[in-house]
Structure formats: structure tokens, C-alpha cells
A and B are shown apart, each in its own frame.
Chain A
Amino acid sequence: MALTIDQPIEHKQQSLAARLFASQTFWVVIAVILACVFLSFATDAFATSKNLYNITRNITFVAIIALGMTFVIITGGIDLSVGSVLCLSSMILAVTMHAGYSIEVGILASIATALAIGAFNGILIAYLGFPPFVVTLGMLSIARSLAMVASNNTVVFQFGPDHAKLLALGGGAWVFGIANPVLYMILLALITGFILRWTKFGRHIFAIGGNEHAATLTGVPVRQIKVAVYMISALSAGIAGIIQTGWLGAVTTNLGTGMELQVIAATVIGGANLAGGVGTAFGAIVGAALIEVIRNSLGLLGINAFWQGVFIGGAILLAVLFDRIRNFRRSD
């Protein structure tokens, strides 16, 4: 008797199709594909190489930070400071290079700044027990303010001797005409996916999000890992900042304003759970893609830009609705 009940259950769990249909990320991918197909027929401008180049590149900045945010969200935390950290890292890079230092020094200073901020956030959260929301909200304000201090609130658009290198780094397309930022994003997504699936560190991140107390009791170094995830999140913001600086060719102190919410939206649309324990690298990219496709399509379809927020907000609710429906079905 037990066998007859077990078999269909096992079959259901093993079946790839069933697992796909149960995944929020899968449905978001379908939504992105449908939107793209629809737009190719509905507008002439969508399926042009110029527009696709723009879309893929625009996805990257949110997507790269969303990859870092995924680590934090899986542990059950949140990082609201990423938009400001992006701005500060960009500004440190810009100011350092403007002062005549090489691009290597600039990038090093920029990355070091991001990591220091991440470590600061992480230590306050992991060792002093501050709520992540509050710490990173504070840092949202502090980092942007520091960016203003560093630049005296001016626009920096001259990057010293390595000016051209920096612009090529962010604005070029070295392989098959794919925008460089897209290549970085793919590389970072592969690294993120690998860490989450195949490393002890990744396993422990999921454990902390699932049951932090259990992780502590079983000897998982919970505090160190929490510091590390906030450093990763800040690092991803720093990397996005460097790339964005190269692409834009100028840094202002309002760079990345409100970006933290787009990033969190992308992560959640892609299937991460803000309560912790769930999230994937692929989901973060797909979530960012859906947001960008919505934005792009509204422009191409001639819909007033003021409607953007409604559609993106709707996408967030719809994505989470799928998750709720699944849970309701399970509890039945």
C-alpha cells in the first residue's frame, strides 16, 4: 500500500516538467518571451539590433546588483544601500582617475570602498544584531552623502590618463558585438550560480535563510557568512558602478537613486523569497530582464512613461501571486 502511494509522489517530484511548472522563474521567463514575441510583431523598432543591444545592456546594471542582492535575500536579509553604494563607488573611481591615477588604482579604490561598506553593514547586522533594514537604510543615506563629499557634488566626466580605457571597459563591445556589460553580467551570473549550487558557502547561505538557529546549532559560521553576503552585495553594486561609469562617461551624485528598489523588485520577480531560503542567479537576471522589457515596450508602444510604475508594480504583484497560488494549493 505504501508503495502505491509513494510511486506517484516520487514520479511527480522527479518529473522535470512538474518542477518547471511549479517554478516562479519559469513563468517569468515565459512572460519575457511572450512580451518579446508580441513586441516584435507589434512594433518595428523592437527587434532591431540597436534596440536589443540597448535592452540587454540596460538589464545588466540592475541584474548585476540583483545577483549580489540574491545572496543577501537568501539569508533572509535585505540591502537597501546598493543604489548609494553604486554611486559612491562610481564617484571614488571617477575622483581617483580624475586626480591622475591609473584605471587599476581607480578600480581598486572603488572596490575597496564597496567592500568596506559591505563589511560595515555586515558586522553591525551579524555581530551587533542590528536589523538589516535599519543598517542598510542608514547606509543608503551615508554612502550618497559621502559621494557628494568626495566630489563636492559636481559632475565628473574627465577621467585622467586612462579616460579612454574606462570608456571602452563599460561602453565597448569586444565579443560578437555584445555590449561589454552584458558579458560581465553573464560571467557574474555563472559565478553566482556556481557558488549557490556547488559550494559549502552557498549551502550555508540557504541554511541560514531556512533556519538561522539550526544553522548556528549545527556549527555553520553564521556571523562570518552574514558579513560575507553583505560584502558581496556591496561588491556587486561597486562592480555595477564601475561598469556604469565607463558606459555613461560621467558620474553625478544622483546616480543609482532608487535603484535598490528596482534591484529588490528584480530579485523578487525572479523567484527569491524575502523571508529567506529561496533564490537563484538565473531568477535575478530574468527578473531584471522582465522589468527592462516592460520599460522598453511601453516606450515603443507609445504609452505615457508615467504608466511605467504601474506596470512594474503589477509585475511584482503578479509574480508573487503565482507563489501564493502554489502555496494555497499545497496547504489544501
Chain B
Amino acid sequence: MRNILLVAAREYKQIASTRGFWVMLLVLPVVIGISQVAGRFFRPTLESAYVIVDASGDYAPAIERRLEINYQRSELSALSEYVQRWKLGAVKPDALWAKGERWFSDDQVDQFIAEGGIQAAVEIVKPHTPPEAGVYEIDKRNYLKAAVPAGVPTNEGPDALKAGLDPYLQDTIETADGERPLSLAVYIPTDMSETSPVRMWTNSAPNASLVDNVRNEITRVMRAKALEASGLAPETAAAIQNLSPPLSLSAPQQGAGREQVVIRSVLPLAMVYLLLVTVMTTGSMMLQGVIEEKSNKLLESILATVHPAQLMHGKLIGLGAIGLTILGVWVGAAVGAALSVQGVVADIVKPSLAAIEPWMFGAMLFYFVAGYLIISMLYLAIGALSNSLQDAQSYLMPVIMIIMLPVVFMMVSVAQQPNGVFPIVLSWIPLYTPFAMLARMGAGVSMMEVIGTGAMLLVFVIIEMIVLGRLFQASLLRTGQPPKLGGFIAMMFGKNTA
């Protein structure tokens, strides 16, 4: 065991001293870091300000109310989803946000606003939030109302108003929440007509949604006025204006349905990619190492002190530790980002971690290690058989194709139908079991299937270690042309043809 560990430590140290290893190790954390920093510093500012000068006095309050309702509805819907995901409905079962609804009528939102809006609702939920959930973050309002700056004439007609607001439209304007770009200025005349229209001015980055909201609300108020003018009672006119189909929009409970499958699959699918990347990387390092030992003619010195099996196991452990280091740093970086930053990574990785049951982590680790051993042994045997990298390439190409092609097809298939025939069949072919089972884990696999495929995989790994181990040992001191098929088979069955 001592010599195995010495070989492993040497392999680890040698790889860890190369520049390529560090580049590979740090590439993912750096990309995550850059994306987070870039996300924070370069995220486009969505918040902008608007100014309304309503000479008629009929429209501005309605527009402001509409924008507030839209904002509170969006927050109410997001809070409802958050409460459902983290099972917080019991905090206040009769609250609008406690029932898993995703759509709310104006009346419901009015009620929500009357109860204090999103601020008050979050205060109720916050004390009951589990630590892993993170506090619900209230989005800022996209549109903030700004008062007409002093010195800008509001009663001298639209042209004078425009002239006064022009400098602000090219820059920012003071709001209750600080400076914001002025993206829309609206002038509503006392009596709207063809010759006296509503005037709107935008800056160089006009906000289409804001313009739509303002236009729709003005239209709505105009129609209500028209209905009233036609003799309808104001209440009836308002009721007609607010008429909308009764609608109840529900999303599946968190932990059920396709959302659950997608979220739970994130981590297992990431493991499949990580397994592929680490095993291919460390495998080729291993291959190069063995070829270096062969071509540098130093194997004989090593074999005088270390048994070939010890050399093989040492390499597997050393390079396995390299693979685990890469895996650890990458997963650590992803999890760290998920837990510390509210971004895309956090939205995906954090819930997927929470959605995976503890026993699945054990199964995933088993499949990962088994997958690593299966592929690494192939690389080691190829390295021992080859006298040069060119030699190795000719063996490697078909082996990689045999492994990669079904795995890639399987990944596509799993994304569409996790428990389709193809992934299930691959799960029972030991060469593909680690990949197929890891990929399907998120969709839910039975404990029996895990035990069955796991047992088969274990037997396969043991047989592979013995058979390819013999091939490795018999090939180490071999030089010249690689053996023919009969030679391979003889070596696998322990007949030394060197």
C-alpha cells in the first residue's frame, strides 16, 4: 500500500505542477466569477422615470394606479411561487400568496395593496424562511414617477413643456429613489382632439412597455368616460371596463411534475458532463504518463521496486485524486456561487441541491467513481500497449467513439424523456451504466434499479480491473509492433507474450 500511495502522490504532484492543470482547474470558477461580476456591474438598468403633465386631471391618477397594480401583481405572483417552493403557505393560509396561484385580478391586487403590498407580505414570510431558501428579494419598480422639475413650464402648452424637459430626456431626472433616466414624458391636454392630441416624448432608449401601459390606461379612461356620456351609470361603465374572464392559473406544487424533473436533473446531468470532462482529461494525462514511462525507458527501474499492479493502482488513485480535485473545485465554485449569489446559478443549482434526496448523493458518487474507473482503465491499457502518442490515437479514436456516441444520444434522449427505452437499455449495459443512471437520477429511478445496475457495474469493474490489469502488466515492457487480436486475448488471460 505504501508504494501505491507513493506512486499516486508522484502522479498527483507531477500533474498538479503543470500549467494546463491549473488552467483547467480554475477555468470554471473564473467564468462563474466573471459572469457574476459582469452580471452585477454591467446589468442594464431597467428602472426609468416618467413625467406626466395632465392638464385634464382625469388620467394621471389612473395611470399611476395601473403601474402600481402591475408591479404589485408581478411581485405577488413571484412571492406565491416562492412560498409554494419552500412550503411556507401555512404561515398565513388565507393570504393571496399562500395558495399557489400565479395570476391575480385587479381586485385581488387592490386587496393585496390594501394589506400593505409586497413589503408587508415579505415581513410576514421572512421569520419562517428556511436558511437554505434565502430571503425573498423584492424587485425594484421598473417605472418611477418624477415630478416636473422646477422651472419647467407645465401650463404653457406641450411645446414649452418639451423644451423644458429636453435636457432631462437626454439625461436623468430626480425621483424619490434617486436619479433615473427619464424615458417618457406625457402631456395630456384638457380636451383631447385631433388637433390637440396626447403628446409623448421618449429618450434614446424608449420603454415600449411603459408607453403601452400609459396608452392603454388613457384608452381605458376615455372609454369609461364615453360610456358614462352615453348614459350609463358610472359604476356600470367602470364594471364594463374592468370586465375580464374569470381565471385561475395554478402551477404544479414544487417537487411534482416536470418542474421537479428539470430541477432535480440539473445536478445529475452536470455530474454526467463533469464525469465525461474529468475522465477524458485525466485519462489522457494517464495515457501520456504511461507512454512517457515507456518511451523514456524508465519502467524497468520502477518495476524493480514496484509491482506492476501497484503501479497501476497508484496511477488510478493519483489521477483519480486529480479528477476529484477538479470536480471538488468546480462543484464547490458552483455551490458557493449558488449559496452566496442570487443569480442564474443560484436559481438553478440551489433548488436542485435541495431537491435531491440524501441516498441519491451516495448513488451518484458510486456511479461517478465506477465510471471513472471503467474509462481510466481503458486509457491505462491503451497507454501500456502504445509506444507513442500516435500509436495511442489509433486505439483511442474507436474507444472514444464507442463511449461517447451512445452517451451523447442518451443525454438528448434523457432531456426529452428521462425514462425512455434508450436510456433504460443503456442503464443495464455496464460501460454506459454510470452515464445513463446519473442522467436519469433526476427523473426518479427506483432503488431496485440502482441496486441492480450497481451490482452489475461492480462486477464489471472488478472483471475489467483484472482483465485490463493483466493486459497493462503484460504490455509494460513490450516494444515493437502492437500485438494482434490473439495476442491481446492471450495477455488478458494472463499469458505473457512479451
Partners in one complex: no
